[in-house]
Structure 1
Amino acid sequence: MNPPTPATAPTSEATTPLPPETAPEQTARRAPVRDRYFDLLRALALFRVVLYHLTGWAWLPLVFPSMGVMFALAGNLMARSLKRPALQVIRSRIRRLLPPLWLLGVVGVTGMVIQGWGPDADGHPGWWWIHLAYWAVPLSDPPYGEGLPGLHGFIGENWASDLAGPLWYIRAYLWYVLLSPFLLKALRAMPLATLLAPLALSAAFELGYLNLPGERIPSALTDFSTFGACWILGMAHQEGILRRLPRYVVPSVAPVFALVGLWYALHHDFGEGNDLDSMPLAQALWSFGTVLLLLHLSPSWSEWPRRLRRWDRLITLLNSRAVTIYLWHNTCILIAATMWDQLWGIDLMWMHFSWLLESPWPVLAFTWVLIGSCIVWFGWAEDLAAKRRPQLWPDGSTKRTGGRRAKGAKRH
């Protein structure tokens, strides 16, 4: 499954008197520079997640392991942030993560309750109220109403399962944030052992050497063992550990991990309905090898290459609203598919355009229109969480326009 991390707030600088003419220039130099290569990877990851959840094509996670990429980018950002006091960084990360989740919970849980979901849904009213707290702090999977009816012609049945589907990522991300100070210390002390520990844990689960009772703890540990190595890889990149390796090491080692993961998948009935998402060990190895190569190739763009400049606004928007897009995309897919299926009731359509009704591409386009509406309706929660002025469509155009106006005023 497959969804994102908010950008890190700039660290505050000590203020010293500066001449008016030089203050903006020094401020610009001190501000952290966005790595546009990482922005591109995050945007590609989000698009691939939406396409995969719509089509279910098993080969998509092989082409681009989105979840491994997003966890690696988040780990890189977390390691950079941990130059500040750890408690301050953790509090900031959690603050940025939770408000978009709360907004989803308000809408989703309200809809579930209206349709009859409540304390007696699972026969344990007391536990229902306690577990409901996971919608506030997702240390484990929050409960949701399974099997709820949809709204005819608008959203399909069992919609709550689709709405809650992406929440495993939020849970895993929260635990990675909480563990990051310890992971960073371990990485500095024992780089190789720390990088490989999650893969070893994944193998122990897969081969039956480690079995734990219950569902919540094994689920959390499975997520950590599957993508923990990618998170730590991101930290290692930020710490410069990968750069200190001889240039031939990563291109020699990374394909081995990826190919072992692919071999394991192909020997365990890999295909539609049984892809990498169903094979944690294969997912862990393939994602680790691919992410290792992507970080090794990292060109660290402070500005876009000429051929990519046309995509600046779109990529900026996707990065600015990564959490909103990930949280709402499953619901948007379900609504788009449900509404598109209504066209089968029109004789002209099914008689002459059945090929179009069966195509996933119109549904994909409609899904992104709905995602765009979610950005407008719900994306402001990310701005409030980051203590920014709320924007409806943060594609960077306002900032660039302001910059051009400022330059023009200075020339005149």
Structure 2
Amino acid sequence: MSWEAEQQPQQAYPQQGYGYGQQPRPQPQPVYGQGQEYGYGYGYGYGYGYGYGAQDQQPYVQPYPQQYAEHGQGQQPAAEATATLPAVEPEPEQGSFAEAEAPVVAEEVPPPPKPAGRDRYFDTLRAVALVRVVTYHTFGWAWAGMVFPSMGIMFGLAGTLMAKSLERPALKVVKSRLRRLLPPFWYWGLFVVLAMLIHDWMPGWQIVYWIVPLGDPPGNTWGIQAWEILWYLRTYLWFVLLSPLMLKVFRLAPVPVLLASLAPIAVFQLVWTPPDGRFGSALWDLATYLFCWILGFAHRDGVLQRLRPAAVVVLSLAAIGFGGWYAFSHQAEFGTYDLDEIPLAQAFWSAGFVALLMYFKARFEVDFAGLARFRRLDRIVTVFNARAVTIYLWHEIALILAVPLIDQFWNVPAFEKWLPLESQWFMFGIGWVLIAAFVLLCGWVEDVAAKKRPRLLP
């Protein structure tokens, strides 16, 4: 899962339509800055479920308004954008021809660009994805992935942020991602591994994957509900390692590469099946979400906004239609129409769904800035984004602990009479209470990983 759970400030744009005098004057030049990004994506449990990507960077000013700002999670102070002052012409000498002929033109200093802020469109998508993951892992609704394919969305966000971060040296970007990703994983894994050891788990050499999850970390059956979600951590890590090369290939032929990124999953499903084991699982997951990751590149590089709306809409709906048809027509083979259990259907459904969301963002410059008017909702979205790694890692444990906790409620006659102890909705509510507790108790690790001062809440 993508762990770049950091807030990324929105880019500011220079004001357009400056007035000019009778004579041309020098144009202000944009001022750029560098920063870090952090992307995340998770998703699994009873099936797949969530992706996460986020990165932290300093704001900068882009020269054209059609390029869009990305953001991640965490918190980064917004830097002030500075407008370049107009050039000052030297004063002509006394009695010179220039003094006699040159008209007096008042220089108009353009107003400074608006300070950078957060792009709440991506923030909101990430928060909704987290809620959908917890909901799916509570109720197990097979249709949840069709309503909101969180995994594909989070891979798309992570790909966008990765493309931005690779404006810096690739090695530095990869090290930054690892630094932000691994400490929360290690902290969470310490409790899970100790619990499995107490419950008779005998690890082998594969325990090294609990240090760097290039393969699926092992575990026993007792703890499977907790550790099975780590498949996305492994997938996200491989995407990060491969992104410098993938981005170079993508920029050679953006649209053909984007369309071709759906070919591997079709080959795996229809022509050649990868082997079982860690290697085969990694290939399946990489192929399933490769399009969404590269779609993030396309959004960051402005490729999407240059495409014709009709082409994007038609192809996206066609991909969604094919994914849905394949899922429903192969229920007998997979035992369900749940996209999380059918890689080919998941790949095409997510591709079409995420393409529409990204194109909507690119075409109409949507940022959900009005969310700030709803302070409580805006605060919730902020916390979800700054603690996305914590929420994802600990949500399954919260749901596990909710069951014995509710069992104790039956021993209280008033609770037994007045509370809906048998309802899954009640367990859903108790799960969120426990998730909130884990955010307070364990969320500070994300601050430490980001080299920030630890806080209970961002």
- TM-score when normalising by structure 2: 0.73
Paired residues of 2:51 and 2:153 also in contact (CA < 8 A): no
Measure how far apart 1:272 and its partner are.
Answer: 8.3
Q: 1:30 to 1:199 in 2, by over 3 A?
A: same
Measure how far apart 1:297 and its partner are.
Answer: 1.3
Matching residue of 2:290: 228
What secondary structure is seen at the aligned counterpart in 2 of 1:2? coil
Unaligned stretches of 5+ residues in structure 2: 1-47, 61-77, 83-111
Matching residue of 1:184: 247
Matching residue of 2:433: 369
Alignment of 1:279 with 2:342, yes or no, is yes
Matching residue of 2:145: 61
Alignment of 1:80 with 2:164, yes or no, is yes
Matching residue of 1:320: 386
Paired residues of 1:57 and 1:272 also in contact (CA < 8 A): no
What secondary structure is seen at the aligned counterpart in 2 of 1:187? helix
Paired residues of 1:4 and 1:71 also in contact (CA < 8 A): yes
Matches within 5 A, 1:22-41: 25-26=80-81, 33-41=117-125
| CA distance in structure 1 between the partners assigned to 2:274 and 2:240 by the alignment | 23
1:171 alignment partner AA: R
Alignment of 1:102 with 2:165, yes or no, is no
Unaligned stretches of 5+ residues in structure 1: 14-22, 120-127, 147-157, 395-412
In the TM superposition, structure 1's runs of 4+ consecutive aligned residues that sit over 6 Å from their partners are 27-31, 345-350
| CA distance in structure 1 between the partners assigned to 2:265 and 2:399 by the alignment | 31
Measure how far apart 1:72 and its partner are.
Answer: 0.6
Match of 1:2 among 42, 49, 56: 49
Match of 2:237 among 168, 174, 177: 174
Match of 1:218 among 270, 280, 284: 280
Q: Deviations over 1:191-219 (max 9, x none)?
A: 23322334211111111x11333411110
Measure how far apart 1:287 and its partner are.
Answer: 0.6
1:236 alignment partner AA: A
Paired residues of 1:6 and 1:320 also in contact (CA < 8 A): no
Give the % identical residues. 47
| CA distance in structure 1 between the partners assigned to 2:386 and 2:170 by the alignment | 24
1:336 alignment partner AA: A
Paired residues of 1:4 and 1:323 also in contact (CA < 8 A): no
Paired residues of 1:6 and 1:97 also in contact (CA < 8 A): no
Matching residue of 2:353: 290
Alignment of 1:265 with 2:319, yes or no, is no
1:206 alignment partner AA: Q
1:319 alignment partner AA: N
2:217 alignment partner AA: P
What secondary structure is seen at the aligned counterpart in 2 of 1:34? coil
1:9 alignment partner AA: D
Measure how far apart 1:169 and its partner are.
Answer: 1.1
Measure how far apart 1:253 and its partner are.
Answer: 1.4
Q: When the two structures are aligned, how many residues end up with a matched partner?
A: 361
Paired residues of 1:33 and 1:302 also in contact (CA < 8 A): no
| CA distance in structure 2 between the partners assigned to 1:212 and 1:7 by the alignment | 30
**Relative contact order: is structure 1 or structure 2 higher (C-alpha 8 Å, sep ≥ 6)?**
1
Q: Deviations over 1:235-261 (max 9, x none)?
A: 110110001112222122111100110
1:100 alignment partner AA: P
Paired residues of 2:391 and 2:439 also in contact (CA < 8 A): yes
Q: 1:181 to 1:29 in 2, by over 3 A?
A: farther
Paired residues of 2:206 and 2:218 also in contact (CA < 8 A): yes
Q: 1:258 to 1:233 in 2, by over 3 A?
A: same
- TM-score when normalising by structure 1: 0.81
Q: 1:307 to 1:255 in 2, by over 3 A?
A: farther
2:148 alignment partner AA: F
2:236 alignment partner AA: Y
Paired residues of 2:444 and 2:455 also in contact (CA < 8 A): yes
Matching residue of 1:143: 218
What secondary structure is seen at the aligned counterpart in 2 of 1:243? helix
Q: 1:317 to 1:348 in 2, by over 3 A?
A: closer
Matching residue of 1:152: none
